[in-house]
Structure 1
Amino acid sequence: MLYSAIMEKVVLVEDLGLNDYKATWEYQEELFKHVVDLKIKNRREETNLPTPNYFLFVEHPHVYTLGKSGDLSNLLLTEKQLADKGATFYKINRGGDITYHGPGQIVGYPILDLENFFTDIHKYLRLLEETIILTLAEYGLKTQRSPGETGVWLDVGTPFARKICAMGVRASRWVTMHGFALNVNADLGYFDHIIPCGIRGKAVTSLQVELGLDKVDEAEVKGKILKHFEVLFECEFKSVVLDGSLTGTRNL
């Protein structure tokens, strides 16, 4: 007898605030493994327990990450220079090349069982991009996709093309992790030390720069992201409050 899984449309959203990249990565892996293990249990035991979905918001201290297909030469700093900049570096298991994370950047990590929604990785990436495009449109910015380059851009096809949101995901058994990084109030000077996403000759920008503001309300931006994500993925968000650390007890 084939089991019939229940399609769980609730997404548990957690805002981790400013948190270390490695600790957050390990937490993602914990949630990811929980979902995958439950799917394996359902298949082996022919049960139909619903699989949970998560959405993590976080800001990281200065860090550079290199995707599994990335080129290390796109990092333009030595180990000593990294330390002098107060930055760390990690090779990780997402797609994409090198990128930067830091304060003032909104990072979103959806850990979804796509079998609760649709089984199409390309559609997933396009909907992530659309979430950001619709969010930025609320600030009067016309952003778009760039052919062959994942993420969200301004002035595509012109000498002034610039990237405002990077994306890189991993998926296994239709469960996702990693996600997007939207430059809101980020210090763009840190991008000078890499070839962002391995793409030469393309600039990066931020919502703060594009709007000409001293500071953009990041909580407001997060709210808009969740609003558009909820509509596009036809899901329902439920907020979860952590105990203040990534190592505390959670009921998964």
Structure 2
Amino acid sequence: MNKQIALQDLGSKDFKDTWDYQEELFKGILDTKIKNRREAAGLKTKNYFLFVEHPHVYTLGKSGDVSNLLLDEQQLTEKGATFYKINRGGDITYHGPGQIVGYPILDLDNFFTDIHKYLRFPEEMIILTLEEYGLKAERSPGETGVWLDVGTPFARKICAMGVRASRWVTMHGFALNVNANLGYFDNIIPCGIRGKAVTSLHVELGKKTVDEAEVKTKLLKHFAILFEAEFVK
């Protein structure tokens, strides 16, 4: 088992370019697994964790409804945003500046082969990180992501989740609103859930901005503990 995870911070990068890069890494892991199975090659599979910030973009998952995008092509252009249908689970979401997006591309054979456990761990990483900022975040039954004030009229989502897995290899991941412009969420029905608000860490803390590097450090700390992993550059 290889419990080392190669950490890459891609900075600001176009969504489609990042998606293509994810697919390249994902395929590399799958190819190694196939080679091991066919030839008993005994090669270690690699694991990756990508941090990235995307320019304004809306993405729709496999089970999503395009009517949850409330903009036409001209309006997207006017907003400086793009739109992609992609191969993760979930419905529609927004990515943009001020949001920390994380893509763990892991061979779960290196950790545990339980997809439900895998889905819970990134959520737990977010919950534990937000706890360090004095926020009580939690899961909302039947709804993806991480929320605040679950079960009240003030429930609001602070982190979206959406993953793809094949042969125990994962891709896509989470999007945590840290200093996000929440106005862009007004142009969609986030995750197809009507009547629920979206929030950002800087809003919850009453700050103009939150140190994103500090948030990333906390996220990685909790991820490493949960997965019993070591990050390498």
TM-score interval, smaller chain: over 0.9
Residue-by-residue CA offset, 1:90-137 (whole Å, 9 max, x unaligned):
000000000000000000000000010011111001001000000000
1:141 aligned onto 2:135: yes
State the AA in 1 paired with 2:186: D
Alpha-carbon separation, structure 1, partners of 2:136 and 2:97: 24
Question: 2:136 aligns to what SS in structure 1?
Answer: coil
Partner of 2:82: 88
Q: 203, 207, 218: which is aligned to 2:201?
A: 207
CA drift of 1:149 comes to: 1.0
1:230 aligned onto 2:213: no
Q: 38, 48, 58: which is aligned to 1:64?
A: 58
State the AA in 2 paired with 1:9: K
Alignment of 1:115-154 (within 5 A): 115-154=109-148
CA drift of 1:46 comes to: 1.0
Partner of 1:13: 7
State the AA in 1 paired with 2:159: C
- The number of aligned residues is 233
Ranges in structure 2 where 5+ consecutive residues have no aligned partner: none
Residue-by-residue CA offset, 1:37-85 (whole Å, 9 max, x unaligned):
0000000001211100000000000000000110000000000000000
Question: 1:93 aligns to what SS in structure 2?
Answer: coil
Alpha-carbon separation, structure 1, partners of 2:207 and 2:225: 29
TM-score normalised by L of structure 1? 0.92
Alpha-carbon separation, structure 2, partners of 1:110 and 1:128: 9
Q: CA RMSD in A?
A: 0.4
Ranges in structure 1 where 5+ consecutive residues have no aligned partner: 1-6, 240-252
Question: 1:191 aligns to what SS in structure 2?
Answer: helix
Give every structure 1 segment of 4 or more consecutive aligned residues whose post-TM-superposition deviation is greater than 4 Å. none
State the AA in 1 paired with 2:217: G
Q: 21, 24, 29: which is aligned to 1:30?
A: 24
Q: 29, 36, 40: which is aligned to 1:42?
A: 36
State the AA in 2 paired with 1:72: V
CA drift of 1:150 comes to: 1.5
